[in-house]
Every structure is written in C-alpha cells, then in structure tokens.
A and B are shown apart, each in its own frame.
Chain A
Amino acid sequence: MDRIPILKLGGALIVTIQVDMHDRLALALEEDLTAKIASTGARGVLIDISALEIVDSFIGRMLDNIAAVSRVLDADTVVVGMRPAVAITLVELGLELTGIKTALNIERGMALIRSRLDESKDEARSARARRED
C-alpha cells in the first residue's frame, strides 16, 4: 500500500491511518491532502490515528505541517484517537502540536468540524444578506 486513502464527507476530509507510517508514506499523504483540500474546498480535515502505535519526530512534524498547510487553505485539522503511549512519546519529543485541534474519538472530532462548518455557513449567509441589502 503506497497511498493512504482520503475520504470526502460533506465539507470535511477524513483520513484514517491504518498502517505504520514510514517517511515516504507520510510525505505522500501530506502532498495528497494538500491537493485534495485545494480541489474540494474542504473546511475541515479529520485525521484518525487510533491505529497508529509508533510515532517518531518525523511523523509528529508531518502532522504539524499538515495542520499549518490546511490552515493556510482555510481548513481546520482535527487529530483524533491518539493513544496514550503516542501522546507521551510526542510530549517527550517536545512536539506539543499546538496548532492542531484534538479529540478523543472520531465522533467528537466530527462534532468539532461540524460546528466549524456551521459557523462558516452562518458567516456566508450573513455576508449574502449584507450584499442583498
């Protein structure tokens, strides 16, 4: 498997990482995800890492990069399902991923993204209303 699939659900992109990440896979994911955000105009990216058992500084940085890139493209990144051991490793590595939103499971992650989508919908509506006035 040399690509991680990216699913589109409404205004959100969902990525679940089911295999051990190696560096090339991580780079490919970063690239694919950037292209997909741009082409679909997604406002939220949900990355499920509940199956990820091993992280290193490279993967940690990749998560940070994805978050930064998607912020530039106006999308929120939510990482869900991080295991305790992975969290401890990342903290010990000094990667606190401050730019990323986190949630305990995919359900709560989707709720976070949905609230963001609703907000932007409201904004769009009020902007349209202002234009019509």
Chain B
Amino acid sequence: MVTDSSDALLSVLAKEEPRILRSWLESLNAGDSPQTGRIRDAELRTQAQAMLQHLRDALGSGASDAKSEAFAPLRDMLGDISRSRALQGFTPAETAHFILAAKDPIVEALNGTGDPSLAARAWPISRLLDQLSLHTMEVFLASREEVIGRQGQEIAELSTPVVQLWDGILALPLIGTLDSSRTSVVMENLLQAIVDEEAEIAIIDITGVPTVDTLVAQHLLKTIAAARLMGADCIVSGIRPQIAQTMVHLGVELNVVSKATLADAFALALRRTGRAVVRAKAPAPTGEDRT
C-alpha cells in the first residue's frame, strides 16, 4: 500500500489541510453541535491540527489499521483529549463527534481531486476514523468509571469516621446503608481505633442509616462481636422510631445495649467508666440576668 497513491494521498491531505480544518471546525462549532461554548476555539483548533498531523504521520508509515503501532501517538493524543472531556463533563456522543466530524471534510477533499484511485482511499480512511472514534469512546468510559470508582471510595472513607468522645470512649456515627464491603471498612476502622485509643466502650450511632433490615442488623452484630472480642463493649444508639418498628416487625433482634440517642449512650458510657457529668454551679436565673 506504500505506493504512489499513498504519497498522493498524503500530498492531498497536506495541501487541503486548511480547507479540511476550516470545514471540520465549522461543523464542530455548528449550532446543533453541543461542543460550542465549553471549549475555546483556539484549543479546539490546536487539537484538530495535531490530530491531522498525527493522522498524516501514521498514514505516511503505510499503516491502515487504527490498532497498529504507527497509530500509537494518535491514539494517545485522542485518549488525552477524551479523558479531559470526560472530566469536563462532555457526553460520550460529543466526544466521539470530534472525530466523526472530520470524516466529511476529508472524504470530500479526496473526492474533490477527481482522481479515482484517491477516491477509492476515502472508504478505508472513513473506516479508520470510525475505529478512532470508538477508541475515544472506550477511553472516555474508562476515565468516567475511574472517576466514579474514586468517588465511591471517597464516600466510603468519608462516611466511616471514628471519633473519640472521652478517654476510652469512642463513637462511630454511621451514615448511609451498610453493605458488606462498607461493614468491613467500618469494622477495621473501629477495631484499629479501639487499639489506638485503648477504648473500653464504643458507641455505634445509626442515626444516619436509612433502613435496618436483617442484613444490616447482621453486619452490625458482626462489628459488635468483633469489638467485644477485642475487649471493648458496644452501645448502639440513634435507632429512629420507624426503624425500631421495622426491626421488630422483621423480627430483627439486636442483643446489645441500645439507647435512643447518642447523648443517652454517652451518659451510660460515662457511668460505666465511673464518671459523671455534674453542673459546675446552679444555672443563673433567666430574665433578670439579661437586663
């Protein structure tokens, strides 16, 4: 395939580049294309130019398959572009449109030469651009998934803090549904905190847990059992009235000390560790003091 027709193809692409570029950018910026506005014209132009340059280089080496080695720089560049668009919030269709919009101008330029051997090359090139647009889609989706995965991990970490309320008293405010993967994170965090703080009592507050079904209860019990094995007692607090009813209806039994609020649980924890909260002095009479 590396013949005169290839050279001719390259020379046409080089010669017609300004026209291809112009009509490509026009179609990218056309009213119905959603690409406008979110990315600067100059940036778009640089990307388009670079892409044409890489395309010429790759075709010059005689390759015709988008997966071949010669197209690696082009693929890398497109990967970068679609990754950055994924982060900017473009849709996959918009990202693929960037490549597909180049098809018409290039095919037109090849047909415009009137040379039948060049017009015959239009078909493989169009197929090549299709492959490249599929590649951008793949990279786009992969980077989106990466973002989602990272967010999920961050949420899991953010929502399982262990806080120290007092010497030897820890609180674990749970927020969100407890599934098995989160339970293991919660359990590890809690147990490590028990070791680090030499805690005697851990209060598990489930005010932020939307529903407690048998599975969640089982996860809770596992955590409590593990904490007990380490030598720390657990108190469950923050069971909302509806949840308490649901639990009873479901026949879920938490055979642990439970309190309605975190404050009650904390008071119990203080009592168990031999402490008490007392008022330092009698409250000032209200009303008169303020004047």
| A and B are partners in one complex rather than unrelated chains | yes
Taking Cβ atoms with an 8 Å cutoff, the residues of A that contact B are 79-80, 82-84, 86-88, 90-92, 96-97, 102-105, 108-109
**What residue in chain A is nearest B232 (Cβ atoms)?**
A104
| CB atoms of B191 and A104 under 8 A apart | no
Contacts of B200 in A (CB 8 A): 104, 108
Question: Interface readout for B184-211 with A: 1 if CB under 8 Å, 0 if not?
Answer: 1001100110110011100000000000
**Is B244 interfacial (CB 8 A cutoff)?**
no
| CB atoms of A91 and B222 under 8 A apart | yes
Taking Cβ atoms with an 8 Å cutoff, the residues of B that contact A are 184, 187-188, 191-192, 194-195, 198-200, 222, 225-232
| CB atoms of B231 and A103 under 8 A apart | yes
Shortest distance from the beta carbon of A79 to any chain B beta carbon, whole Å: 8
| CB atoms of B198 and A88 under 8 A apart | no
| CB atoms of A96 and B192 under 8 A apart | no
User: A91-B187, A102-B229, A108-B200 are known contacts; what are 14 more A-B pairs with Cβ within 8 Å?
Assistant: A79-B231, A80-B231, A82-B229, A82-B230, A86-B229, A87-B191, A88-B191, A96-B228, A102-B231, A104-B194, A104-B231, A104-B232, A105-B198, A108-B231
With A104-B194, A104-B198, A105-B198 in contact, do A88 and B226 touch (Cβ < 8 Å)? yes
With A88-B188, A88-B191, A104-B194 in contact, do A96 and B229 touch (Cβ < 8 Å)? yes
With A80-B231, A104-B232, A108-B231 in contact, do A87 and B226 touch (Cβ < 8 Å)? yes
- Bound Cα distance from A61 to B286, whole angstroms: 63
Pick from B187, B194, B232: contact of A88, CB below 8 A. Answer: B187
Pick from B192, B222, B225: contact of A84, CB below 8 A. Answer: B192
With A84-B192, A104-B198 in contact, do A90 and B229 touch (Cβ < 8 Å)? yes
With A87-B191, A88-B188 in contact, do A104 and B226 touch (Cβ < 8 Å)? no
- Bound Cα distance from A84 to B199, whole angstroms: 13
Shortest distance from the beta carbon of A27 to any chain B beta carbon, whole Å: 22
- Bound Cα distance from A37 to B188, whole angstroms: 36
- Bound Cα distance from A104 to B227, whole angstroms: 10
Shortest distance from the beta carbon of B191 to any chain A beta carbon, whole Å: 3
**Ordered nearest first, which 3 A-B pairs have the shortest CB separation?**
A84-B191, A104-B231, A103-B231
Contacts of B188 in A (CB 8 A): 84, 88
Contacts of A103 in B (CB 8 A): 231
- Bound Cα distance from A108 to B273, whole angstroms: 13
| CB atoms of A84 and B195 under 8 A apart | yes
Shortest distance from the beta carbon of A111 to any chain B beta carbon, whole Å: 11
- Bound Cα distance from A92 to B226, whole angstroms: 9
- Bound Cα distance from A102 to B225, whole angstroms: 11
- Bound Cα distance from A90 to B184, whole angstroms: 13
- Bound Cα distance from A79 to B229, whole angstroms: 8
- Bound Cα distance from A105 to B198, whole angstroms: 8
Shortest distance from the beta carbon of A45 to any chain B beta carbon, whole Å: 15
A-B contact pairs, 28 of them (CB 8 A): A80-B231, A82-B229, A82-B231, A83-B195, A84-B188, A84-B195, A84-B226, A84-B230, A86-B229, A87-B227, A87-B229, A88-B188, A88-B226, A90-B226, A90-B229, A91-B187, A91-B222, A91-B225, A91-B226, A91-B229, A92-B222, A102-B228, A102-B230, A103-B231, A104-B194, A104-B195, A104-B200, A109-B231
Contacts of B198 in A (CB 8 A): 104-105
Contacts of A108 in B (CB 8 A): 200, 231
Most chain A Cβ neighbours within 10 Å, of B194, B199, B229: B229
Shortest distance from the beta carbon of A57 to any chain B beta carbon, whole Å: 14
**What residue in chain B is nearest A100 (Cβ atoms)?**
B229
- Bound Cα distance from A102 to B234, whole angstroms: 13
Shortest distance from the beta carbon of A61 to any chain B beta carbon, whole Å: 14
| CB atoms of A97 and B229 under 8 A apart | yes
**What residue in chain B is nearest A102 (Cβ atoms)?**
B231
